[in-house]
Chain A
Amino acid sequence: MKEKLFMGIDIGSSSSKAVVIDEAGKLLGSTVVNMGTGTGGPKSVIDQLMEQLKITVQDITRSVVTGYGRMTYEGADTQITEISCHAMGVFKSLSDVQTIIDIGGQDAKVIRLDRNGKVVDFGMNEKCAAGTGRFLEVMARVVGCDIGDLSELAKRSQSPARISSVCTVFAESEVISQLSSNTKIEDVAKGVHMSVATRVVGMCNRVGVAEKVAMTGGVALNDDFVNTLSEELSVDIMVPNSPQTMGALGAAHYARNMAEKG
């Protein structure tokens, strides 16, 4: 009998992710493409995953799409919000997590789960980019480094700069001002991390933090930021093996559950 396969697709603002699992919930493959909604990212991420697994989309039994671009993507059977999908993905990957901090390109979210992995409360950033991956992207550009190098740069900081503006535009001016005053790039990088962490802590306090805490989304790949946030919150933060694909993994599990229920 042909194996049943379930696909989750997470179309974010700056990247697209796809995951395929089997009937037992075992992860078979995942891909990430750094192009989000409104680009060729969704098609590309699925093409790559199909090639990786040597299958075609016709082999997929059921699929669920999530993320910012979920409403406009027509290739999936169902759409579910990224909050529910991240919760499901983390619940299936790490045990006993009760708080998820998800920081993606455009949104930051704090999700509270009960012991069964059900979402009980959540908070999201306001519509500005402060406290999101976009803020880090803008700041990385200003300090003249790649977003992926921001973590290593910040780790070298001896005296973090203070970035007080919460608005991305004003903070950009502030960083430029710091650099022109000969503040070291690594200190500015660390200051940027602390600034974002402060915003996220504010959101965490509104929703409430219960241990264990996990972080997902692209920003979780920045280990200096994770450490900075951990210090600000005074809790340990776990990061799953593939923090960017937790939403897609959760979506795949939802697809599997729906198929089971018929």
Chain B
Amino acid sequence: MIAVLDELVKKGKNPKATVLEAMKDSGRKAVGCFPIYVPEEIIYAAGLLPVGVWGGKTDIKLADKYLQSFCCSIMRANMEFGMKGTYDMLSAVVITAYCDTLRAVMVNWPYAVPNVKVVPFVYPQNRQGDSAFRYTLEIFDKFQSEMESISGKKVTAERLEEAFDLYEQWRALSQEFTTLAATHPVTINAKVRHYALRASYYMDKKTYTEKLMEVNQALKSMPDEQVKFKVVVTGLLAEPEGFLDLFVANNISFVADDLAQESRQFRTPTRPEGTVYEKMAWRIMDLRGDTFFYEENKSRGRMLIDMVKESSADAVVVCLYKFCDPEEFDYPVYKKELEAAGIPILYLEIEQQMDSMEQLRTRIQTFTEIL
């Protein structure tokens, strides 16, 4: 494997060690960012290190006090890690409010994890009209003050511009990486792709971006590769590792994704005009096909159909995280549209704390036998 790619994969697999290393190297305090779309540029401009907080594999023992077993496994894991001190190195966590579980975590966090400050962050759900845009600008300002108080540093216009440019570069390189991954599915199999992208949540974005640029350069010099099956994957995220192993074992590559943890983070361009905050707000206003934002005419199905066509994929794989209500509400709508377009769909219900993969193995292998 490409050495720098191997390095990213290792960092993606070891969140805590990677975050501690990044804190040490950058001298920045770390701020945890719950899913999704936390305005990391502001955190970075305040001299802090934004860190992804996406749960992980753990035994749930403490979190049951606040979150029942029918809450999503990502949030249960986040609460568990918080309560057992895994996040003690964070100066704060930013918690969004897209669903009932996130809202429950937001209000319970100060009691469950009193030593890690919580900063609520709430985007407008209905983005029609000028008020949503103006509201977004206001919450960016308010969020900036919160970050400044944590870091003790002012967010100057220059720092903000630098952070914005860095994140734009990261978005462009991440998109380029996913395109190159589609043409190099042996080197960048489903697991490598996931961990290489996931590393961005735990590293200093500047370091990560430099390394991703090296990876892309190396991939560009390599001949194209082929595996038997190509799929577009949609959902929150594709974990745990054993789940990704099943795709590798069945010669299935992810040629494009609509995952909240991956491409949804970097696929929407901003508009060229305006201040940094206006550009960031436009990106939120322009997000389409996303479960977590209200869209009168849901465009996710049409978007997935386009992704399948553009990437010449054989099918769409739905990674539906158990008990994720927003994702579950979307599924019947886009399923109908994909079926009408004659695109095969594999629906897989998953959670982070899965141990047995046998049923999923059978489902995935059968799907390849049908394809």
Contacts and interface: CB of A to CB of B under 8 A. Distances in A.
A120 interface: yes
Given A119-B370, A126-B349, A82 B356 contact: no
A80 interface: yes
Contacts of B370: 84, 118-120
Interface in B327-367: 349, 356, 358-359, 361-363, 365-366
Nearest to A68: B358
Contacts of B130: none
A71 interface: yes
B359 A84 contact: no
Given A119-B370, A120-B370, A83 B362 contact: yes
B369 interface: yes
Contacts of B369: 80-81, 83-84, 119
B366 A119 contact: yes
B349 A82 contact: no
B338 to A, nearest CB: 13
Contact of A71 (B349, B361, B363, B366): B361
A124 B361 contact: no
Nearest to A123: B347
Contacts of B361: 71
Contacts of B365: 81
B366 A122 contact: yes
Contacts of A68: 358, 362
A126 B320 CA distance: 13
A10 interface: no
Contacts of A81: 362, 365-366, 369
Contact of A83 (B356, B358, B366): B366
Contacts of B358: 68, 71
Interface in A45-101: 68, 71, 80-84
B362 A82 contact: yes
Contacts of B363: 122, 124
B contacts with A: majority SS = helix
A115 interface: no
Contacts of B362: 68, 81-83, 107, 124
B216 to A, nearest CB: 36
Contacts of B349: 126
Nearest to A83: B366
Range class of the A interface residue count:
10 to 19
A261 interface: no
Interface residues of B, number: 11
Contacts of A71: 358, 361
Name the residue in B358, B361, B366, B369 with the highest tally of chain A Cβ atoms < 10 Å from its Cβ.
B366
Contacts of A118: 370
Contacts of A26: none
A2 interface: no
A126 B359 CA distance: 8
Contacts of A82: 362
Nearest to B322: A126
A100 B370 CA distance: 16
A168 to B, nearest CB: 16
Given A71-B361, A126-B349, A84 B366 contact: yes
A71 B236 CA distance: 29
A2 to B, nearest CB: 31
A235 to B, nearest CB: 23
B367 to A, nearest CB: 9
B34 to A, nearest CB: 27
B114 to A, nearest CB: 36
A127 B366 contact: no
A120 B369 CA distance: 10
A84 B349 CA distance: 21
Name the residue in A80, A81, A83, A107 with the highest tally of chain B Cβ atoms < 10 Å from its Cβ.
A81
Nearest to B361: A71
Interface string A31-44: 00000000000000
A68 B363 CA distance: 12
A127 B356 CA distance: 9
Nearest to B367: A122
Contact of B359 (A119, A120, A127): A127
A84 B356 CA distance: 21
Contacts of B366: 81, 83-84, 119, 122
B202 to A, nearest CB: 31
A80 B370 CA distance: 12
Nearest to B362: A81
Contacts of A80: 369
B24 to A, nearest CB: 42
10 contacts: A81-B362, A83-B369, A84-B369, A107-B362, A118-B370, A119-B370, A122-B363, A122-B366, A124-B359, A127-B356
Given A68-B362, A107-B362, A120-B370, 17 more contacts: A68-B358, A71-B358, A71-B361, A80-B369, A81-B362, A81-B365, A81-B366, A84-B366, A107-B359, A118-B370, A122-B363, A122-B366, A124-B359, A124-B363, A126-B349, A127-B356, A127-B359
Interface of A: 68, 71, 80-84, 107, 118-120, 122, 124, 126-127
